[in-house]
A and B are shown apart, each in its own frame.
Chain A
Amino acid sequence: GAGVSQTPSNKVTEKGKYVELRCDPISGHTALYWYRQSLGQGPEFLIYFQGTGAADDSGLPNDRFFAVRPEGSVSTLKIQRTERGDSAVYLCASAGAGGDTQYFGPGTRLTVL
């Protein structure tokens, strides 16, 4: 079956602009995670959804970052007033009901000029 998909694969924007990053999880997976990976580093947790609700948003760096999952499937990560330091690869992962194995998408490479 299809894996986790993310769109766009690349996004270049200017400082101060608003961006939306989309994640389509594996069909039937109830848990969805967002991570951010900077160059040469491991992924860092941002937010975790169980169904439609955010079960843990402790990794969001500030209030410019927001994520939604309105129907419990597709999720959108929204970044307002982008800064150059937001440049990174944004990874999405999903997991089944047991939640113990996370499967990652290919990521969206965000570049803020």
Chain B
Amino acid sequence: QKEVEQDPGPLSVPEGAIVSLNCTYSNSAFQYFMWYRQYSRKGPELLMYTYSSGNKEDGRFTAQVDKSSKYISLFIRDSQPSDSATYLCAMSAGGAQKLVFGQGTRLTINP
């Protein structure tokens, strides 16, 4: 079993829909949780960063962490075609430690 599990999709939704992406993990030492967006043939781009449990909002994006359930989520409101990309969850046990990534979910927003 992988340390971080993420449904690879693909996920296809109409423009304007609310998108929900999530990951589960097994290592209770993870304290830092991130979501990266990766366009085709590009490097991952940091979207959201959360330390420990709770919610964080940035524009149309909301990240949630539930450490008791070992479950993290990313919500995208008013989704746009430009949001079409692969979304990667990542987590680490310490501030400068290696990141452990999920497989990535491929998302397509249809106009």
Q: Residues of A with Cβ closer than 8 Å to B? A: 4, 31, 33, 35, 40-45, 48, 50, 55-56, 58-59, 91, 93, 95, 98-107, 109
A55 to B96 alpha-carbon distance, docked (Å): 10
Q: Residues of B with Cβ closer than 8 Å to A? A: 4, 6, 8, 32, 36, 41-46, 49, 51, 88, 90, 95-104
Q: Which of B6, B98, B102, B103 contacts A45 (CB 8 A)?
A: B98
A25 to B41 alpha-carbon distance, docked (Å): 19
Number of A-B contacts (CB under 8 A): 64
B96: which A residues are within 8 A, CB to CB? 31, 48, 50, 55, 95, 98-100
B41: which A residues are within 8 A, CB to CB? 109
Whole-angstrom distance between the Cβ of B21 and the nearest chain A Cβ: 13
Q: Are B98 and A42 in contact (CB under 8 A)?
A: no
Q: Are B88 and A106 in contact (CB under 8 A)?
A: no
A59 to B66 alpha-carbon distance, docked (Å): 28
Q: Are A44 and B46 in contact (CB under 8 A)?
A: no
Q: Are A48 and B98 in contact (CB under 8 A)?
A: yes
B8: which A residues are within 8 A, CB to CB? 40
Q: Name the residue among B32, B36, B44, B45 with the largest chain A CB count within 10 angstroms.
A: B44
Q: Are B95 and A98 in contact (CB under 8 A)?
A: yes
